[in-house]
Amino acid sequence: MEQVLFWLMAVVAVVSALTTISSRRPVHSALAFLVTLLSLAVLFLLLSAQFVAVIQIIIYAGAILVLFLFVIMLLNAQSGEGPQIKLPSQRPLAIALALLLFGGLSYLLLSSPLGAARPLPAGMGTVQAVGGILFNHFLLPFEVASVLLLVGVIGAVVLTVKEDEQPK
Amino acid sequence: MPSNISLLALVLITIVKGAVLIGALLMAFAYGTWLERRLVGRFQLRLGPNRVGPLGLMQPMADGVKVIFKEDFVPAQADRLAYWLAPALVVAVALTAFAVIPFGPPSVKLFGVPLFYISNVNVGILLILAVTSIGAYGVILGGWASNSKYSLLGGLRSTAQLISYELGVGLAILGVILLAGTLELPQIVEQQAGTWFGFLPRWNIFLQPLGFLLYSIGALAETNRAPFDLPEAEQELTTGYQTEYGGMKSAMFYMAEYIDIVLVSSIATLLFLGGWQGPFIQQLPGLGVLWFLVKVLAFVFIFIWLRATLPRIRYDQLMDLGWKVVLPLALLNLLLTALIVLIWPWLGGGG
Amino acid sequence: MIPSIDYLLLSAALFSIGAAGALLRRNALIVFISIELMLNAVNLSFVAFARQLGDMTGQVYVFFVLVVAAAEVVVGLAIIVSIYRTRASVDVDDADNLRG
């Protein structure tokens, strides 16, 4: 059962990721990326990370990607890529580099011994466990993260408000 | 998970329960439209549909047959994939969210598994929020795929509205979660059992009146109902993102809308109105379903009442309300609740 | 139980696909989605290591990655919108004012 689910989701994730980067229409790219996100959420569930899986859907699929679609539709950019290619060697070079990266990463992963998985603590991945760690061991980073988000909000407002329509 | 029955039996029971639930929800959609048309008729001093069958009860069937036999067209230069996906997505999402809604007490069991809900997960209410947040895609895709200016504007408005009010709704729900100390819906309902001073039910609405009000406003906005039905405003946008949809696909958007109304009413009942709690629940646990349905129906009635009473507000007023009233008040509510939860044991109070 | 190495290899594959997208495509929006794909691949390996080591810390790191991703998307999309306003294009090759 677990095997079937893992391989199914792995194939779905890779195929939808490939569709994401190869689709001509940006909206289809975003939709394929949505499928990748959902399959990753299922994989998180398999890894006993329930809370992460739900947050992945709420934040990534429910907010970040919707914002992407919003901007894609706002700009109504079709392919968005001009016909003239300024760098002829871009395509083969990019594919070669990505393959090299994958080869290097898998070589490193396969050559380093992982050993047997340690036993999971009770309540792994539940809201209580995540909250306990987040607010005990990571309190300062948590607060800094909120400041980072505030900076992001202010930055977006400053960047997109036009000069002639400054709020009174 | 009960160990005395096999996995296969569990899967079979779950499938049957799911099928019954989906059937019930589709009936709820059909008679939701009937109820709304009859009630709005009364509110406007008309009769409403009363010709087909006794009291017009066969009207939804007649509408269904009409809709099925309508031409199924796709607008020129529409994005076919997204055009087909959008209505399917909104209905699927609305149905999926019901998987964790408990309709009755978990003590009522059939073959060793609780009869009145499909599953109970640790993240409970968060799962519903996650599933419904996917629904925004149906609306925005439907608007974009139709290749029409009206649809696109309606879709963009609707998405902005959904995202804006989702924050308020989430924060309002957090107040209840702080009180309950759990995300599991059956436990949240169990904690609302009993009465204060012998007559006042221990429902969360009395502890979280502001939270309930904010949740209700957000629920109206998230289901695109009047007075927040701007995405489908007939006069400005010719029903917005649904303009280019016809026949069965248009009916599916309506289906999702009515199922969503039942969904937000169910959540309000579970979180604020004590779920299946009511008189004689100890003696006869099965009665809980009746109390639950009565409360949900009351909430749905208020939805329809509001639609017949209130005029639609302007788009800028909608955004002002969401960001400048609902959100700050929800934050204030959350802060006060957290403070009270912290100092309550210190004051010597229990539970 | 699926061995953790399978998850890590999947994560490496998704990361490489994301990198390929960021290098290949010239539409700024798709380059951006590719970067999000790489962040998600990293999240997968964080969660896989959390299970391998029986330690929740890996899962908590996912939340910080999410925060970074959210802040990055908000500012990045704002930059793309303002570039589009001035040159009516989202092709990254068109934004070459600094080219000598």
Residue carrying structure tokens 């893992």: A6
| pLDDT for B4 beyond 60 | no
CB of A64 less than 8 A from some CB of B: no
| Grouped pLDDT means (10 residues each) for chain A, 168 residues | 88 93 86 92 89 89 86 70 69 89 91 79 81 89 92 89 63
A91 touches chain B (CB under 8 A): no
B141-196 residue pLDDT tens: 888 887 777 778 878 888 888 888 888 898 999 989 888 888 888 888 888 887 77
A78 SS3 class: coil
Quote the minimal CA–CA distance from A74 to chain C in Å. Answer: 9
Residue stretches of chain C with pLDDT short of 50: none
Distance CA C59, CA A9 (A): 20
- Contact B137/A at CB under 8 A: yes
What pLDDT, on the 0 to 100 scale, is given for residue B5? 64
User: Which range, A86-100, B2-16, B260-274, is most confident?
Assistant: B260-274
- Chain A, nearest residue to C76 by Cα: A156
Identify which of B79, B126, B160 has the shortest CB distance to residue A27. Answer: B79
Q: What is the mean pLDDT of residues B248-268?
A: 87
Task: Output the pLDDT for position B231.
Answer: 65
Sole residue written with tokens 């068109």 = C94
Looking up tokens 């504007």 gives B153
CB contact at 8 A, A58 and B129:
yes
Interface of B with A in 212-241 (CB under 8 A): none
Give the whole-angstrom CA distance, residue A42 versus residue A36. 10
What residues of chain B, 272 to 311, have a C-beta less than 8 Å from chain A?
A: none
Chain A neighbours, 3+ Cβ pairs < 8 A:
B, C
Contacts A69 to B, Cβ<8 Å: 137, 140-141, 144, 159
Contacts of C7 in chain A (CB under 8 A): 43, 47
DSSP annotation of B195 reads E
Nearest Cα neighbor of B289 from B300, B278, B298, B299 is B278
Cβ neighbors of A140 (< 8 A, separation 6 or more) are none
Which tokens is B146 given? 């139709």
Distance from CA of A123 to the nearest CA of B (A): 10
Asked whether the beta carbons of residue A152 and residue C75 sit closer than 8 angstroms, the reply is: yes
Extents of the domains making up chain C: 4-90
A54 at the B interface (CB within 8 A)? yes
User: What whole-number distance in Å separates Cα of residue B36 and Cα of residue B31?
Assistant: 8
For an interface test with A, the pick among C1, C27, C31, C89 (most A C-beta atoms closer than 10 Å) comes out as: C27
Interchain pair B130, A57: CB under 8 A = yes
C chain contacts of residue A95, beta-carbon cutoff 8 Å: 20, 24
Please tell me the distance from the alpha carbon of residue B314 to that of residue A53, in angstroms, as a whole number.
37
At B334 the three-state DSSP class reads helix
Give Cα B99 distance to the centre of its chain.
Answer: 13
- Determine B/C contact with 3+ CB pairs under 8 A as the test: no
In this prediction, residues B110-123 reach a mean pLDDT of 76
- How near does any CA of chain A get to the CA of C73, in Å? 7
Per-residue HEC secondary structure of A31-58 comes to HHHHHHHHHHHHHHHHCCCHHHHHHHHH
Chain A / chain C CB contacts < 8 angstroms: 243
Instruction: Pick B98 or A163 by higher pLDDT.
Output: B98
| Least confident among B224-228, B235-239, B289-293, B334-338 | B235-239
Nearby residues of A32 by Cβ (< 8 Å), 6 or more positions away: A16, A17, A19, A20, A23
Q: Which residue of A has its CA nearest to B137?
A: A66
Please check whether residue B208 is in contact with residue B179, taking contact to mean a CB–CB distance below 8 angstroms: yes
Return the number of CB contacts < 8 Å for A and B.
65
| Tokens describing residue B49 | 């549909």
Nearest to B129 by CA among B26, B217, B212, B222: B222
* Correct CATH for C4-90 of 1.10.287.3510, 3.40.1050.10, 3.40.630.40, 3.40.50.720: 1.10.287.3510
Asked if B33 and B254 count as a contact pair (C-beta separation under 8 A), the reply is yes
Alpha helices (H) along chain B:
7-43, 59-68, 80-96, 124-145, 149-180, 185-190, 204-207, 209-222, 234-237, 247-272, 288-309, 315-320, 327-343
Minimal C-alpha gap between A61 and chain B (Å)? 7
Mean pLDDT (chain B, rounded) = 83
Instruction: Write down all domains in chain A, each with its CATH number in brackets.
Output: 2-79+124-165 (1.20.120.1200)
Asked if chain A contacts chain B via 3 or more Cβ pairs within 8 Å, the reply is yes
Sorting pLDDT into bands at 50, 70 and 90, what band is B1?
very low
pLDDT in tens, B181-197: 888 888 888 888 877 77
Tell whether ipTM is more than 0.85: yes
Q: Which residue of B has its CA nearest to A65?
A: B137
Name every residue whose Cβ is closer than 8 Å to that of residue B31 and which is 6 or more positions away in sequence: B60
The three-class DSSP label of residue B55 is helix
pLDDT tens sequence across B201-227: 888 888 888 989 999 999 888 887 778
Establish whether chain C is in contact with chain A, requiring a minimum of 3 CB pairs below 8 angstroms. Answer: yes
**Residues β-bridged to residue C91:** C27
| CB proximity list for A87: less than 8 A, separation 6 or greater | C93
Residue B237 · residue B315 · CB < 8 Å: no
* Tens-digit pLDDT profile for residues B271-288: 888 888 877 777 777 788
At residue B187, the pLDDT reads 84
Alpha-carbon torsion, ordered B39, B45, B51, B53, to 10 deg? 30
pLDDT of residue A39: 93
Q: Considering only alpha carbons, which residue of chain A is nearest residue C13?
A: A102
Q: C38-64: per-residue pLDDT in tens?
A: 999 999 999 999 888 888 888 899 999
- Strand ranges (E), chain C: none
Q: How far is A6 from chain C (nearest CA, A)?
A: 8
Residue B232 in this model has a pLDDT that exceeds 70: no
**pLDDT tens-digit map of B51-67:** 887 887 888 888 888 88
